[in-house]
Structures are given as structure tokens and as C-alpha cells.
Structure 1
Amino acid sequence: GSSELAGVAALLKAGKARNVVVMVGAGISTSAGIPDFRSPKTGLYANLSRLKLPYAEAVFDIGYFRRRPEAFYTLADELYPGKFRPTVFHSFLALLERKGVLRRVFTQNIDTLEHLAGVPEDKIVWAHGSFAANHCIDCGTEMATATLKAIMDAGKIPHCARCKGLVKPDIVFFGENLPARFFELAPVDTRAADLVIVAGTSLQVHPFADLPNQVSCPRVLFNLERVGDFGRRKTDVTVLADCDTAVRELATLCGWTAELEAMWAKTAMEETKGEAEGEAEG
């Protein structure tokens, strides 16, 4: 609860937490309008019936993608970065960076909202990949994002110019390895962490789900339900609330409210500015 959160705020304010590692999932982006995967009614998997999949996760299965890439591309069109504004939680990550205490954000999300909110790329590990680059699944040739986007916008499936194989964004599908960067940084960052914030994740997908177990520092959970082994350790702090509410409470305790809200407001101005530019081009 909030008395425990006060202890976390004290660490941040006293400069005792200087290597904050944040581990996040879909729950930090739901308030931006991006569906999470597993919620029974509103989740992505629950609303994929129109794609006539043999099972929900097939949409991210590499074998299924080879047979029927349309399913993934229907979804990719809806999730593609550029349509969504970062949340208050995303702005809090950027605020930690501004305060000089953010060591790394490990994210399961492919929406790149962490970066859009102002977290530099070197501070982010996209554990499940992202839309930032695209490669042929057969020969590995890269396709420029602008090219891929143009093909998608025309309602077609991108094929490799070199071997005619299917091209897909570098999102980690089931049965694919996580990016090398994840395995390089996870052991180093979990060792160096002096405060860990886990937010908006069901901690069901491995190896990401093992990350919180590898740290020895205080851990904070912002989530709608208790996950992993949170609560087992004396130093654990569990806040069962939506991520934006929880992070606003922490910011208040740190005396950072005005700064946080100003940073978040800025993301709205950038969003409307983008729309205005879009209209000007149109």
C-alpha cells in the first residue's frame, strides 16, 4: 500500500536508488488504447475470432505465419506504432531518466511508447522485439520500414525483393529466440539494480518472467493482480491498481507531480502536432 510506497519514494528522493530497472508488459499501454493479450473480454486474443485462427496465439506463431501471413498483418495494421499516445506511466519512465536514475527498461511491448515518451533507445531492451526493423524470414534480407508500411497500406503482404520469402517486423514470435541484447543485458542489469519496478505484466512468458527473481534489491509491483512470487520477500511492495494511478501516487510521494504531469502533457501536444502535419501533407 501507500505507506510501503513512501519507503520506495524515500529511496528515490535520498538518491539511494540510482540504478532503477523497470520490467513492463501490456498493462502499461492499455490506457493508451492498446489492448493487452489475455484479458477475457477486451484482450487481443479474445477479439481475434474474426481472423478465424485455430487458436489465439497462432497469430504470433512462425509456422502459422508462413501458411497464413494475413492474420498477423491484419493485426499489425491495428497495432502499428504512430497511432497511440504514451501514458502517464511511460512519462514516468522518461522522468526517471531525466533524474539520472534509470538504468534500463525491459519491455515485452512492441508499441515503442517508451521511446516515444522520451526514454533513449540505449536504455530500452525490447525483449520481444519491435516494429523498428523488418527482415525476410528465409534469407534475412532487411526491408525498409517505409517500404513495408507502403505495402501494408496497400493491403498487400510484404515479400522479400531478393528471394520472394515473407517479410515480417522484428517482433519475437513463439518459437523464435529473444534478441541477443536481452541475454547480454539481463544478467548485468539484474545484478546492478538497486530498485526494480515491475508493471502491467502477467509474468507468464519466459524467459522474461524470470527477470524479477534474479534481483536481490527491493521490488515494486504495479499491477491489477498479484503475479510471480511478489509478496514472498519482506522488501516487496505490491500496489494493486492500474499503472497510471499507481505511478501518480509514487510521483506525489516523491514530490514530482508537477514535473510528471508536464512531461505527459507534452506528449499530447506532440500527438496533435503530428496530426496537424499529417493534415497539411494530406
Structure 2
Amino acid sequence: MASQTEKMSQATAHMDEKIDLQTISSRIKNGEITRVVVLAGAGISTAAGIPDFRSPNTGLYDRLAPLNLPYPEAIFHISYFSHTPEPFYAIAQARHPGNLKPTISHAFLALLAKKNVLHFAFTQNIDGLEQDAGVPTDKILWAHGNWKSQHCWKCKTEYPDDLMKKAIREGEVPYCLKAECGGAVKPNVVFFGQSLPFEFDEKQKLVPEADLMLVMGTSLKVAPCSQLPRLVKEGTPRLLINMERSGDIGNRKEDVCLLGSCDQGVRKFADELGWREDLEALWKVAVDSMKDDREFEGGPSLDECIARVASQMDERLKISEGHKRMLEGHLSNKLAQIMSRPASQP
């Protein structure tokens, strides 16, 4: 493994070298790159069956249209969830990680760790599939939390796993077990309007230490994770594997953009590294180990869950409007009676 002095000398020698995927791969193989920092987004999980958020028509936010939300992101905003948790649990039944298996992209992150070149990984995903693929928990931060546990949003009391699984299987909203509370239970994920884990500020200090930043499957539109690639030192390669360019990656001469799906990109990267056989084997182990763990398999599709809850919300709205009309009619009758009384009558 190259020493820090040797790396500085190599970096000077590489100043005018054209950077591409082959160059990055060569530097990993010869020990020049030993500290890879990763930022992963929704794109690494789409092949597992989770739609991304913003793609027109197929993205989650467009598919939520039947729910008539005030705005699509409201489904993940704590202020909306606090009084209307049904939309979140509409998608929870179909999108729960218990239905999912790691993708080849998740396995690639685990392989980086196994090859001792993963310095640290940040993920914006809440599915926890990186851990299922074998990424060590001390090498990753779930910046937006994950589904591994849950609590009452209101009083913060922990909620049992078995009851949470039962509620999701049945498509119901779980509520706090404390009778005097009654708040909706939420998984330990970070909603809009909530703070990121306190570890984020500390772990982002690792980014400038990177000798390669790998950004995968993210639009880089959600702060503060979107700012992480900017913390990489000038001269350090940044590799983007994504369907399209995102953020400012591509503006530096040492940036490399590998456009396409994440799974296609990591397989190409693995081929350049000579790791393809290792990658496929690691992925197979991860998938096979979860064959008996798919607790929610065979349930309704995402669109079916959305349609069911949309119908329930429409019915509730009709009842609410009917009650409103009844009250208005009652008040009108009372007013008419008052107006018809003689002036001397109270």
C-alpha cells in the first residue's frame, strides 16, 4: 500500500493525466486509491423494486397523485404525518424492505469494504439494504435513518417489531400503546422537518480525506447530503454513476461521469477492476441469505395500496363534507326560527 508521501508524489505526477474509469481502476489496483468515500441515493435501490422519487410518470411522487396531497413531499413531512399518517402507510405496505433483496450495487459497496478500500459510505436510502448486502455498520451512515426500528412520533416511546410488522402486513396505521398518547408510530427514518442524525456533522469530516468520491444514484437535490461531493479536495477524482449528470460533478477535470443505471455502472467498474467474479459471488450470497426473510412478499402492489388509501380518504372527506352540510343546515334552520320570532320574544 502506498504511503502518504508516495501518494502526494503520485498525485503531482498525475496532474496532467486524463482521468477516466480505467485510470481510476488502475489507481485502486496499484494502491494509490485506498480511501473511497461513497454517497448513495435512491438509484441504487430501483432494481430492488423501489421506484425513485422524481422520474416523470414512474417516480414515486408522480404515482402519489391519487392521494391529492398538498404537495408530493408532504407524505414524508413530519407535520403532515402527525395528523394524516395514512398516505405514508399506504406506500409502507408495498415498499417495506421486508419485500426486498439487495441489488448488485449494494453488493459493490460491500465489496469495496471487503477489499479494504471503503473509507466511509453515506446513504440517503432508508431501506437498510446496504447492511443486508454486507456493508459493515461502522462504515456507513444512514443519513435519513432506516426501517430497523420504530417509535411513537409524539412521545418517542419505542414500538414492538412484531406489532409493526402486523400493522404493515394488514395495511393499518400503528398507534402508540400508551392510551394517554395516541400518536402514530413511525419508523426511525428522518422526515422533512426533522434533523439529521447528530453523527452526520462528524462523519462528513471524512469526505476531504477521500482519494476517490463515488456518487451513485442520486439527483443531489436534497441538502445536506447534496453538498458532500463539494467537500472533496480539488484534484481528487469524483466518479458519478447515475442516469444523468447531477450536482456540479463534471465541472472538474478529474470528474468522471458514467451515465446509465447503477447496476450497469458497477458491473462495468468491477470489470475494469478485475472484480466481476467476486462481485457476482458476493451478491449471490447476500440474496440467498435473505430467501426466507421476505416477510411481506405477495402483498398488494404500490399502486394498489395508493388506490385503496385514496378511496378511504375520499370517503372520509365525503363524510366530513356531509357533516359540514348538516351543521350548516341546522344553523340555517335555527337562524330562520330566530328571525321569525316576534321582536318582544327572547
The answer to whether 1:242 aligns with 2:251 is: no
Query: 1:167 maps to what in 2?
Result: 185
Tell me which of 192, 198, 208 is aligned to 1:180. 198
Query: 1:101 maps to what in 2?
Result: 117
CA-CA distance at 1:263 after TM superposition: 1.1
CA-CA distance at 1:21 after TM superposition: 0.7
Q: In the aligned structure 1, how far is the partner of 2:194 from the partner of 2:19?
A: 42
Query: 1:43 maps to what in 2?
Result: 59
Q: In the aligned structure 2, how far is the partner of 1:275 from the partner of 1:128?
A: 23
Tell me which of 56, 62, 68 is aligned to 2:78. 62
Q: In the aligned structure 1, how far is the partner of 2:147 from the partner of 2:290?
A: 19
CA-to-aligned-CA distance 1:62-102 (integer Å, 9 cap, x gap): 11112211111111111111211111111111111111111
Q: Answer whether contact 1:126 1:182 (CA < 8 A) is retained.
A: no
48-57 vs 17-26, which moves further: 48-57
Tell me which of 200, 206, 222 is aligned to 1:205. 222
Query: 1:52 maps to what in 2?
Result: 68
1:76/1:259 Cα in 2 relative to 1: closer, same or farther (>3 Å)?
same
Three-state SS of the structure 2 residue aligned to 1:191 is: helix
CA-to-aligned-CA distance 1:214-237 (integer Å, 9 cap, x gap): 111211000111111111111111
**Paired residues, number:** 276
Query: 1:155 maps to what in 2?
Result: 171
Q: In the aligned structure 2, how far is the partner of 1:135 from the partner of 1:46?
A: 29
Percent identity between matched residues is 48
CA-CA distance at 1:141 after TM superposition: 1.4
Tell me which of 182, 190, 203 is aligned to 2:207. 190
Query: 2:279 maps to what in 1?
Result: 260
CA-CA distance at 1:161 after TM superposition: 2.0
1:241/1:63 Cα in 2 relative to 1: closer, same or farther (>3 Å)?
same
Amino acid at match of 2:220: L
CA-CA distance at 1:11 after TM superposition: 1.5
CA-CA distance at 1:3 after TM superposition: 7.3
199-208 vs 142-151, which moves further: 142-151
The answer to whether 1:84 aligns with 2:100 is: yes
Amino acid at match of 1:263: L
Amino acid at match of 1:48: L
Query: 2:249 maps to what in 1?
Result: 230
Q: In the aligned structure 1, how far is the partner of 2:123 from the partner of 2:199?
A: 12
CA-to-aligned-CA distance 1:157-213 (integer Å, 9 cap, x gap): 2222232222211111111111112122112x1122111100100000001100000
Q: Answer whether contact 2:145 2:190 (CA < 8 A) is retained.
A: yes
- 4+ runs of 1 displaced by more than 6 Å? none
Three-state SS of the structure 2 residue aligned to 1:82 is: helix
CA-to-aligned-CA distance 1:104-137 (integer Å, 9 cap, x gap): 1100111111111110111111111111121222
Query: 1:34 maps to what in 2?
Result: 50
Q: Answer whether contact 2:19 2:255 (CA < 8 A) is retained.
A: no
1:182/1:275 Cα in 2 relative to 1: closer, same or farther (>3 Å)?
closer
Q: In the aligned structure 1, how far is the partner of 2:283 from the partner of 2:137?
A: 19
Cα RMSD, aligned residues only: 1.9
Q: In the aligned structure 2, how far is the partner of 1:234 from the partner of 1:54?
A: 42
Amino acid at match of 1:104: F
Query: 1:142 maps to what in 2?
Result: 158
- TM-score, with structure 2 as normaliser: 0.76
Amino acid at match of 1:107: T
CA-to-aligned-CA distance 1:225-281 (integer Å, 9 cap, x gap): 1111111111111111111111111111111111111112223322434469x9xxx
1:227/1:146 Cα in 2 relative to 1: closer, same or farther (>3 Å)?
same
Three-state SS of the structure 2 residue aligned to 1:63 is: helix
Query: 1:5 maps to what in 2?
Result: 21
CA-CA distance at 1:49 after TM superposition: 2.0
Query: 2:333 maps to what in 1?
Result: none
Three-state SS of the structure 1 residue aligned to 2:174 is: coil
Amino acid at match of 1:93: L
The answer to whether 1:119 aligns with 2:135 is: yes
Structure with the greater alpha carbon radius of gyration: 2
CA-CA distance at 1:151 after TM superposition: 2.7
Three-state SS of the structure 2 residue aligned to 1:139 is: coil
- TM-score, with structure 1 as normaliser: 0.92
Q: In the aligned structure 2, how far is the partner of 1:141 from the partner of 1:76?
A: 20
